[in-house]
Structures are given as structure tokens and as C-alpha cells.
Amino acid sequence: MTRDTPALTRALELAATGDFISVNHIRQALRREGYTALALELSGHQANRAIIEALHTVADARRG
């Protein structure tokens, strides 16, 4: 199953919801949504860093 939204874009959308606590949880959610090419699309350091930063931004906003 293929999605029109790139996996990284969707991962950042999921991170922004505040419902996830780790990159792994976001990857699991993406797999459930049908993103099957995750190993290729989210394997890089920059992709992981972007997701982690989005998770931290949401966590910081909730604390502050």
C-alpha cells in the first residue's frame, strides 16, 4: 500500500500530535497506516533528527 504523503512528512505530522513518545512509535504507526518503504525513507540521520526535534518541540510546549 502506498500513500501520497511522503513518510517523513507524515512522521512529522504524527510527531506534532503529541501522541507519540519516540521515533519507533511513529514508525509503528506509519506501518499501520500502510507506509511500507520506511527503511528507505526514514533511515537517514537527518530524518531521525527531524522527527526527534518535532517530538521535543511538542514535549517542551506541553511542559511550558
pLDDT, one tens digit per residue, over 2-25 is: 568 888 999 999 999 999 999 999
Q: Tell me the pLDDT band of 42, cut-offs 50, 70 and 90.
A: confident
Which pLDDT score, from 0 to 100, does residue 1 have?
42
| CA torsion angle 19 26 52 57 (round to 10) | -20
Q: What is the mean pLDDT of the chain?
A: 88
Boundaries of every domain in the chain: 7-63
- Where helices occur in the chain by DSSP H, the ranges are 7-17, 23-32, 38-41, 45-63
Handedness of CA 22, 23, 24, 28 (dihedral sign): positive
Cell of 35: 507506509
